[in-house]
Structure 1
Amino acid sequence: MSEKIILVWFRNDLRVHDNEILLEATRKADKILPVYCFDPHYFTKTKSGYKTGNIRARFLLQSVANLREKLQALGGDLLIVYGNPAEQIPQLAEQYQVSEVYHHREVAFEETNISEEIEAALWKMKLNLKHFIGHTLYHKEDLPFPIKDIPDSFNTFKKKVERDSSVRPCLTIPKHIATPVIADAGELPTLEQLGLTEPVPDPRASFKFEGGETTGLQQLENYFAVNAIAAGGKANRNAASSKLSAWLALGCVSPRQVYWEIINHGQSAHNHPLMLELLWRDYFRFMFKKYSRRFFEAEGFKTEAPELATNQEELFEQWKTGNTGLPFIDASMHELNATGFISNVSRQAVSAYLVKTLKVNWTWGARWFEEKLIDYSPASNWGNWAYIAGVGNDPRENRYFSPKNLADLDPKGEYAKLWLTEENVA
């Protein structure tokens, strides 16, 4: 009898802990074929720059490299290919005589379209593409309502989920991984091969991001250690930013792992600052499942798009380059462009300013964030922008940052001074 081989297609789940497709495949198959495919579509040029900027691309490369190391430590390997997944995955399935393909289901239309193309190609080969749900804190099947009935109000969603749902335990790491003989596992591409340049380190950055499960779990541990010290060992409602979003976006760290770390540190998840971030993340993913493409349309859930300025191209250029004349806005954009990361307060402020004050098409801002943010995730990014633009899930449409209260965000001007002083750049 021939051995059963399952192809495990990694996408935004670059970890070995709490990874259902990996663990399930090792239990169901004699051997597994772990695969990561670099899709050239995500590295194409756009009108304003690139679909994926070099800072985020570098973080991705580091994360894939670390995944390969983790798999090798378990006795396996990661097969790396470059090309259209709809062509590469079926070809590999045929080459290695695969019995089935596993992957985690995505929610944004580009990603789901790719899955559908692969599923159709595999179907012709009489092979199954098995979908798993592994990107959210709460499993879809454990929600107190079906996806089609998810409340359009976040607060209603939050109250019902916290009251009626529970978080599943984390899954264990496979003890051993056996792979078929892989003649050529492929090389990790360079940024240059992806059509990008190496990012220039900025000495003003207060935090250094390095991709991978190893550093993600270390950052999770550091977060609790630092904030426990600051709060005298107790839960700290004013805890410093976890900076975990980049690792969560690529699935180097699972949301459930974060939740159970809160519990393991003897803290209440209900009142913990990280829980609000995880719940918003869940909410946007579920809303994408419910509404799909509407999050990418200028009018969103409304009948018409927000009002636009006649010179919006000029205004957008000033905004994205940090030349609006407003210190906090400009400093935030300089930091974003230099490091790929800004605080949530900065994100809310620059987004609201672009849409509400400058009256520029909000989808332009969302695409700029898509290129620049190291922690870009389709649902969170586009969901947040639609929320700010008043065409998403926010019932309080007129609540946004205005120029008169921007000064309150940087009362001493220290942040603006740091990021608007060019001689600080190496």
Structure 2
Amino acid sequence: MKTLIWYRNDLRTEDHEPFVRAAEEGPVAAIYCFDPRYFKELDYGFSKTGSYRTQFLIESIQTLRKRLREMGGDLLVRLGKPEKIIPGLVNELGIDQLFYHKEVTPEEMLVEDKIQKSVEIRSKGFWGHEMYHPDDLSFQLDNIPGVFTQFRKKVEKKSEVRDPLSIPENAEFVEIIEPGKLPNLNEFSLKKRDLDDRAVLNFKGGEDEAWKRLNHYFFESDELRNYKYKRNGLLGADFSSKFSPWLANGSISARSIHHQVEKYEKEVHENVSTYWMKFELIWRDYFRYSARKHGSKIFKLGGIQEKDLDKRTDQNTFEKWREGTTGIPFIDANMRELKLTGYMSNRGRQNVASFLAQNLNFDWRWGAAWFESMLIDYNVCSNWGNWAYNSTVGHDPRNRYFNIVGQAQKYDSDGDYVRHWLPELKYVPDEFVHEPWEMSEDQQKLNQCLIGKDYPKPMIDLEASYEEIRQRD
């Protein structure tokens, strides 16, 4: 029984059920398709998948191919729509069945449906992106709790995380004639970006790098014990786990991370931080199951709340936010980090999203799309779920918002992060670094930062915007 494994956001050999089940039944072939739909230019004026994430993806696929070759197999790589390519391979290789990991959002599910209709062989999808398998939940998928806390309490009390699956031993492989070349950025009309030397970490794609990072963070540096206390940090490689890029494209599974946390708890130390790592993985599951339940609503302006909203959509406002020239240092520093590295801390993401959607009263979907293009750890469910959450159209419909300067003073009290990304504020003292517009003209001259010349004037009055937010329904 020859099986074709269709890889998408599951670029690994460890804990990969389609691979395991296929190897049990006979020879295996594997395919990854670079779907051109994911590299198209959006109506907003930028690519759906930008240079940073594309480079990370190529590195991840390169590692997957290397691993399969070490086992005696290979990875077929093709550029084109899977529903066009896979039926031809099925006939060419004499494939009997197609295995893959299920996705839960409309675009991906539509492709699955097209493939199933275009091949006459058995086609089976497996659950493997989640930490908690849906068969182990105490509720039906269409009835997941509407509040995260209820979901968390139910899964913690009534569900168990399955052990990760081992790599199949002595797997047989289908003979491949033309494996195909890995593309480069130019083939997607993208330019290679040199990583800024101020980046928190030089992320490299692939399963090997994922496990290298996990072993460093858990067992070599022993930073897991500090996760709860340092996860809101802004500077440095180890203020958080930074597993998200590898989790996003499936170079490592959530179950594998959970399993290693429990190993750490048994062999090293158990504390609130080890629980908090699991807690964050539960959030990831919640956004995923919520996306499955609500479908295309998660991409609508009114979100799953189906609110009737009127939001700004002018290009000039968006460009100031996107380029990090709003005149609000904490926002600008985070946005420039994103543009120059493809990464931003969770604390930064919450604040820049709140600023765009709430303070600027802007269509939040533009921001979510920019994150999709730029972030190396883009995950469709978590990205759009978090943006909706911060825009009051997700799972917390309250009129919530962040006090931007207050957040900056709490998480960047000495201004090191802001100065790191905004060198024009280099000489501005701590008391003004998050509100440089409060300096007098003489102070601006003294500190070599003229507002409106060296650094932009604030594009809005923050206090007035907070009052406007509070007045909204």
Asked whether the equivalents of residues 11 and 206 of structure 2 are also in contact (C-alpha less than 8 Å), the reply is: yes
1:38 to 30, 34, 38: 34
Q: Which of 1 and 2 has higher RCO (CA within 8 Å, sep 6+)?
A: 1
Matches within 5 A, 1:20-169: 20-29=17-26, 31-46=27-42, 47-122=44-119, 126-169=120-163
Corresponding residue for 1:410?
A: 412
Deviation of residue 259 (structure 1)? 0.5
Corresponding residue for 1:251?
A: 250
Asked whether the equivalents of residues 8 and 101 of structure 1 are also in contact (C-alpha less than 8 Å), the reply is: yes
Q: Distance between the aligned counterparts of 1:192 and 1:222, measured in 2?
A: 34
Asked whether the equivalents of residues 21 and 132 of structure 1 are also in contact (C-alpha less than 8 Å), the reply is: yes
Deviation of residue 92 (structure 1)? 0.5
State the secondary structure of the residue aligned to 2:304: coil
Deviations 1:23-48 (A, max 9, x none): 1100012x111111111111111232
Asked whether the equivalents of residues 100 and 126 of structure 2 are also in contact (C-alpha less than 8 Å), the reply is: yes
1:291 to 268, 291, 294: 294
Q: Distance between the aligned counterparts of 2:406 and 2:399, measured in 1?
A: 15
Q: Distance between the aligned counterparts of 2:105 and 2:162, measured in 1?
A: 24
Deviation of residue 305 (structure 1)? 4.1
Deviations 1:230-270 (A, max 9, x none): 68xx5753253100000000110110110011111125588
Q: Distance between the aligned counterparts of 1:305 and 1:269, measured in 2?
A: 44
Name stretches of at least 5 consecutive residues in structure 1 with no aligned partner. Answer: none
Asked whether the equivalents of residues 312 and 361 of structure 1 are also in contact (C-alpha less than 8 Å), the reply is: no
Q: Distance between the aligned counterparts of 1:289 and 1:407, measured in 2?
A: 35
Report the identity percentage. Answer: 39
Query: Taking structure 2 as the reference length, what is the TM-score of the superposition?
Result: 0.84
Call closer, same or farther: CA 1:417–1:423 in 2, change over 3 Å.
Answer: closer
Deviation of residue 107 (structure 1)? 0.8
Call closer, same or farther: CA 1:303–1:291 in 2, change over 3 Å.
Answer: closer
Deviations 1:348-399 (A, max 9, x none): 000000000001100010000000000001100001111111111115x223
Deviates more, 1:380-389 or 1:265-274: 265-274
Corresponding residue for 1:331?
A: 333
Deviations 1:51-101 (A, max 9, x none): 000000000000000000000111111111110101101110111110000
Asked whether the equivalents of residues 246 and 377 of structure 2 are also in contact (C-alpha less than 8 Å), the reply is: yes
Q: Distance between the aligned counterparts of 2:371 and 2:413, measured in 1?
A: 26
1:176 to 144, 156, 170: 170
- Say if 2:363 is the partner of 1:369: no
Asked whether the equivalents of residues 311 and 361 of structure 2 are also in contact (C-alpha less than 8 Å), the reply is: yes
Deviations 1:136-187 (A, max 9, x none): 0000000110111100100110011101100001101111232222111000
Q: Distance between the aligned counterparts of 2:130 and 2:220, measured in 1?
A: 26
Q: Distance between the aligned counterparts of 1:45 and 1:202, measured in 2?
A: 25
Corresponding residue for 1:207?
A: 201
State the secondary structure of the residue aligned to 1:94: helix
Corresponding residue for 2:464?
A: none
Q: Distance between the aligned counterparts of 1:237 and 1:141, measured in 2?
A: 30
State the secondary structure of the residue aligned to 1:33: strand
Asked whether the equivalents of residues 38 and 49 of structure 2 are also in contact (C-alpha less than 8 Å), the reply is: yes
State the secondary structure of the residue aligned to 2:381: helix
Which structure has the bigger radius of gyration? 2
Corresponding residue for 2:441?
A: none
Asked whether the equivalents of residues 235 and 272 of structure 1 are also in contact (C-alpha less than 8 Å), the reply is: no
State the secondary structure of the residue aligned to 2:55: helix
Call closer, same or farther: CA 1:343–1:236 in 2, change over 3 Å.
Answer: closer
Q: Provide the aligned length of Structure 1 versus Structure 2.
A: 412
Call closer, same or farther: CA 1:57–1:422 in 2, change over 3 Å.
Answer: farther
2:276 to 247, 268, 273: 273
Deviations 1:300-329 (A, max 9, x none): 1224344424x6432111100101100010
Asked whether the equivalents of residues 312 and 358 of structure 1 are also in contact (C-alpha less than 8 Å), the reply is: no
State the secondary structure of the residue aligned to 2:149: helix
Query: Taking structure 1 as the reference length, what is the TM-score of the superposition?
Result: 0.93
Asked whether the equivalents of residues 130 and 254 of structure 2 are also in contact (C-alpha less than 8 Å), the reply is: yes
State the secondary structure of the residue aligned to 1:193: helix
Name stretches of at least 5 consecutive residues in structure 2 with no aligned partner. Answer: 231-238, 427-473
Deviates more, 1:169-178 or 1:18-27: 169-178
State the secondary structure of the residue aligned to 1:80: strand
Asked whether the equivalents of residues 26 and 32 of structure 1 are also in contact (C-alpha less than 8 Å), the reply is: yes
Residue type of the alignment partner of 1:406: Q
Q: Distance between the aligned counterparts of 1:218 and 1:133, measured in 2?
A: 25
Q: Distance between the aligned counterparts of 1:268 and 1:80, measured in 2?
A: 43
Call closer, same or farther: CA 1:105–1:37 in 2, change over 3 Å.
Answer: same
Asked whether the equivalents of residues 227 and 277 of structure 2 are also in contact (C-alpha less than 8 Å), the reply is: no
State the secondary structure of the residue aligned to 1:237: helix
- Say if 2:291 is the partner of 1:300: no
Asked whether the equivalents of residues 104 and 133 of structure 1 are also in contact (C-alpha less than 8 Å), the reply is: yes
